[in-house]
Structure 1
Amino acid sequence: MTPSRTEPRSLTDELWASIEPVYAKILDHPFVGGLTDGTLPRAAFRHFVVQDSHYLRDYARALAVCAAKAPDEADVRAFADDAVGALAAEQGMHAEFMDAFGASAEQAAAEPVLPTTRAYTSYLLATVYGGSFAEAVAAVLPCYWIYARVGQELLAKSSPDPLYAKWIATYGDEAFQSVVRRVLALTDRIGEEISPAERRRVVEHFTTTSRYEWMFWDAAWRGETWPV
């Protein structure tokens, strides 16, 4: 009798399995719960918006590096478009949020980049500049994928707070979900070509930046500042 063969896991299956405990912690975080029931303090959300504005500027740079390293012309164009989209989000949606707080995007840009944001973007940029294309994609992927999953999870609940409802709708929206599906399909194509050693590095980078995603929300919840 011929023994049955187990199909190898796709790279995206392996990546998600590596962060299931992290994602469970994200969904359980009071910042995320407070978005849907409307109890999240506005100060925490403002902290998030300001730091996310700082983050997205460097995330756009990281996506531009992914575009530069992409071997396929279609992927060059896609990551370049996503880099532009990240900046548009920073300039558009975040400006609306800051207006609701009685401040401007220019005022937000003048506020300091805080420890978790600095650590996350430093790791992200070091990885995309110093690593392979596969490693670069792994580092930027959690910001796509986790936000899409959280958006899907929260969309049905939405929020009684219109600001939080708008944030949820942005990431639960089909337009964003389709972008994420495209990046996941690319990730699985990459997984068919890389060596076992590179695959291990890909998983490590993906896991690390996923942890930073949890830390980013937690920093906003705690009202993180520079301690000295």
Structure 2
Amino acid sequence: MTDVRTSTSGLLWAGSEDLYAAVLEHPFLAGLTDGTLPRDAFRHYVVQDTHYLRGYARALRALAARAPDEPSAAMFAEHAVGAVAVEQGLHEEFLDDLDGAPVDAVPPGPTTRAYVDHLLTAVHTGSWAEGVAAVLPCYWVYREVGRELLPRSSPDPLYARWVAAYGGDDFSAVVDAVLDLTDRLAPGPREQALMESAFRTSTRYEWMFWDASWRLEGWPL
């Protein structure tokens, strides 16, 4: 069940619940759980997610640098290191089981570039609270998707590993820490509205990211 909270984070989620419902209905995730997802779609996802996590780590480092207190700075700095660790660990495991060109031989796709640019704009030009709201869907949506898919897992061992990584307790604890921080922000009405806009845009990009891999999106020219 989705972790729907009151206060700041609850308002953010409520404003994008329709988008999360669309995420759960996407055929990419259906193919993960029933094992029918084509391998080339999953490889596209892993390669693009590797590029994305590099940009995501930059956004988290920017949040750490702008944090108003040391615990928040330390948390986002640690998570930035963790994002790189995922790239080097879990993604390398997946790529070892998939055929294709090396990651750096494939450029970031249009959706990947757009999502990263959105995050970097939010964390550098918006308020600190807006930056937190922008990076939050990557934590929260993945945790909720993992929880939703975990009981079904997948008959494909490769896809089952992906589901287990995001549906497990370790990742959930990381997400809870960011949600607790979000609920301590107590923004005013104007900043809450800006946070909701940043959160909803990032949640749209979460759907678009899976859709891009489903379509094997590339640059048209």
TM-score of the superposed pair, with normalisation by structure 2? 0.95
Per-residue CA deviation, residues 162-200 of structure 1 (Å, 9 max, x unaligned), is 11000000001101001101100111111x2x2211111
Residue type at the aligned position of 1:51: Q
Residue 207 (structure 1) aligns with: 200
Residue 17 (structure 1) aligns with: 14
Are the aligned partners of 1:135 and 1:205 in contact in 2 as well (CA < 8 Å)?
Answer: yes
Give the whole-Å Cα distance in 2 for the aligned partners of 1:179 and 1:140: 13
Query: What is the SS of the residue equivalent to 1:48?
Result: helix
Q: How far 1:72 moved relative to its partner?
A: 1.5
Are the aligned partners of 1:53 and 1:109 in contact in 2 as well (CA < 8 Å)?
Answer: no
Residue type at the aligned position of 2:193: R
Query: What is the SS of the residue equivalent to 1:158?
Result: coil
Residue 55 (structure 1) aligns with: 52
Q: Confirm or deny that 1:151 pairs with 2:153.
A: no
Give the whole-Å Cα distance in 2 for the aligned partners of 1:181 and 1:101: 32
Residue 46 (structure 1) aligns with: 43
Higher relative contact order (CA 8 A, sep 6+): 2
Residue type at the aligned position of 1:146: V
- Higher Rg: 1
Residue type at the aligned position of 2:90: M
Residue type at the aligned position of 1:92: G
Give the whole-Å Cα distance in 2 for the aligned partners of 1:103 and 1:68: 37
Residue 136 (structure 1) aligns with: 131
Query: What is the SS of the residue equivalent to 2:107?
Result: coil
Q: Confirm or deny that 1:26 pairs with 2:23.
A: yes
Give the whole-Å Cα distance in 2 for the aligned partners of 1:68 and 1:162: 39
Give the whole-Å Cα distance in 1 for the aligned partners of 2:147 and 2:72: 25
Are the aligned partners of 1:117 and 1:216 in contact in 2 as well (CA < 8 Å)?
Answer: yes
Residue type at the aligned position of 1:109: D
Q: Which of 98, 103, 112 is matched with 1:117 structurally?
A: 112
Query: What is the SS of the residue equivalent to 2:184?
Result: helix
Q: Confirm or deny that 1:100 pairs with 2:97.
A: yes
Give the whole-Å Cα distance in 2 for the aligned partners of 1:178 and 1:110: 35
Q: Confirm or deny that 1:89 pairs with 2:86.
A: yes
Residue 212 (structure 2) aligns with: 219
- Give aligned pairs, total: 216
The gaps in structure 1 that reach 5 residues or longer are 1-8
Give the whole-Å Cα distance in 2 for the aligned partners of 1:186 and 1:86: 19
Query: What is the SS of the residue equivalent to 2:16?
Result: helix
Residue type at the aligned position of 1:96: E
Query: What is the SS of the residue equivalent to 2:154?
Result: coil
The gaps in structure 2 that reach 5 residues or longer are 1-5
Q: Confirm or deny that 1:69 pairs with 2:91.
A: no
TM-score of the superposed pair, with normalisation by structure 1? 0.93
- Root mean square deviation, CA, Å: 1.0
Q: How far 1:70 moved relative to its partner?
A: 1.1
Q: Which of 162, 165, 172 is matched with 2:167 structurally?
A: 172
Quote the sequence identity (%).
58
